[in-house]
Structures are given as C-alpha cells and as structure tokens.
Amino acid sequence: MAPVIDIKGITKVYRVGVEEVRALRGIDLTIARNEFVAIMGASGSGKSTLMNILGCLDQPTDGSYVLNGSRADRLSAGALAEVRNKEIGFVFQTFELLARSTAIENVALPLVYSRLAWWGSRKRAREVLTMVGLGDRMKHRPNQLSGGQRQRVAIARALVNRPSLLLADEPTGNLDSTTSEEIIALFKRLHEQGQTIVIVTHEEDIAGHAQRIVRLRDGKIISDNPTLADPIHRDYLDRVARASVAAAGTAIAAREGGGAREGEGVSTGGVSDGVGGGGVRA
C-alpha cells in the first residue's frame, strides 16, 4: 500500500525583505499508513514549516510531496483546499473552535465544504462526537466546555471527513497534565483503530507516546528513529526514571524520619532537573 506521506527533497525558502530564509533545506520523509509519528525540534528548526507543507496549508519551494497516492505539490489554492478537506484533519494547540457555534456545528464545519448533504453531515458529526466521548455535549458552545472537551471537539472535527492524515500541532500545549493524558489516550485509541497520526511537539513525554520520532534542526532532519531507539528520548526516560526513583527515595526517607536531611535536599534537586527538562531541549 502506498505510504500516506512521501516527501522527497523538499525545500522552502521565504523571502523576508531582501533576505532569503531557508526554512527547509531538503527533507525526505516517508510515513506509512497507521504510523504514529512525532515531529520534534526547537523553534526555528523548521518543524512548523514542515507541518504546514504536510497539511497542504503551504507549498514547498522545491521537491515533491505525494499525499495518499496523489501529488500535493504545485496545486492551486482551490485544489489545496480540497485536499485539506478530504485528506487532512487538523488539531491545533488553541483548538480554533467557532465561538458562536455549538459542538456539533463545529464538528460538521468541514462537511459544509464537502459534498455531503445536510442530514448526512449531522449524522456523521454526531457519530464522531460520540466516539470522542462528547455524545452528551453536542449542543454546548465552546465557552460551556472545559479545555479537554474543547480539544475533543476539535479532534472530532478533524476526524469527521475520515482523513488519511491526522495532523496535530502541540495538541496538549494549552492543557493541564491530567487532561493532556486524556487527549493522548484518545490519540492512542485512534491510532489503534488505524488512524495515521503526526504530532508536532517539543514535549518529550508527549512524543514518547508516538512510535517514531523525527527530529529537525536548521531545516534538516537530524534523526529519525523508533521512539525507544531515539537516544535523546532514552536519555529523557532515564532521567525521568532516576527522578522518580529519587522522589520515591525521598518519600521513604521522609517516612522513616531523621538522619536523612542531607539526602533529601539532593533528591529534590534531582526531581526538578528531570521534570523541567531544560537539558533535554538544549
């Protein structure tokens, strides 16, 4: 079966005044059906540009992009819109729901631009909302929903046209850790059901849920490994593990009481280092 994404030699050059900014300098990337990939990189690494091109919001300056078996480069604005409508579901960090529309109307929005009849689109929107666990919130407006529920609505909207690619940009960036896990669990469930997912993130713990991590720097792919084989991620996992062991140690020491004051101080430092993740991103 053809891969969902097949990119060869993609470059992207922006013109800022008289200066040329080379955001992407030759990217080759293949993502097969039902893969769950995290794209990582610091800001300025080109990951947003890559995501825009993958999502057909932007066109590469050079190189070829075959999406789900058909060409997705050098298309007109109208043709690109059609590709986005049929092949791609977007999930944004800031949800991007229409404030005056209900959950079901938001979910049905992409269907407005496809050729589905009104009643058919209602039925489909209801179906997807129920699948993401919001069957009882269809008539709620975004301001009546929690952050996690809003992101679920956004995910339902992304899935409503049965896209070949679900593209999420920092989907948990605006959510607390508990809600983030719920959303990630939803992504994992969708992945198990066969959905191809690409998440753009800079959080190692979110990326850890993907099968594969692609890292970018200066417009180039610097590493492309299965998650557990990725050295940076392994490093991160080690540190988290050590931190939790240390935290556990501290807890035990605290319970046993006395004699361990010095050790407790050291352990606490270890925990904050691990969770902060400053070293990981550097």
Partner 1 sequence: MTILRLIFQTAVLALGQLWANKVRAVLTMLGIMIGVGAVIATVGATEGLKSYILKEFDSFGPRKVWMDGTVPRSQRGRVSSTQYDLRISELLYIKDNAQTIDAITPMQFLSGTVRAGDEVRTGVSVTGMWPDWHEIEKRQAVQGRPLIWTDVNEVRNVCLVNDKAIAELRLDSDPSGDFILLNDRRFLIVGVIETKAVAQGFPGGGEARTELYIPYTTAIAMQPRDTANFALAQLKEAGGADEAKAELSSILRRLRRLGGEDENNFQVETVQSVIDQVSRVATGITVAAGGLVAISLLVGGIGIMNIMLVSVSERTREIGLRKAVGARPSVILLQFLVEAVVLCLVGGMIGLLAGAGLLLAVAAIPSSPLADAGVPLWAVGVSLGFSAMTGIVFGMFPAIKAARLDPIVALRHE
User: Minimum distance from CB of 140 to partner 1 (Å)?
Assistant: 17
Give 66 or 81: the residue with its C-beta nearer to partner 1: 81
Give 53 or 240: the residue with its C-beta nearer to partner 1: 53
- DSSP of 56-124, one letter per residue? TSS--SEEEEEETTEE-SS--HHHHHHHHHHHEEEE-TT----TTS-HHHHHHHHHHTTT--HHHHHHH
Asked if 140 and 167 count as a contact pair (C-beta separation under 8 A), the reply is no
User: Minimum distance from CB of 105 to partner 1 (Å)?
Assistant: 10
Residues near partner 1 (CB under 8 A) are 52, 55, 57-58, 77-78, 81-82, 84-86, 90, 92, 96, 98, 100, 109-110, 112-115, 118, 157, 161
Give 12 or 239: the residue with its C-beta nearer to partner 1: 12
CA distance 152 to 273: 32
CA distance 161 to 121: 9
CA distance 206 to 182: 12
Residue with tokens 């989907």: 171
Extract the tokens encoding 211: 């099968």
User: Minimum distance from CB of 86 to partner 1 (Å)?
Assistant: 7
Give 110 or 171: the residue with its C-beta nearer to partner 1: 110
User: Minimum distance from CB of 42 to partner 1 (Å)?
Assistant: 18
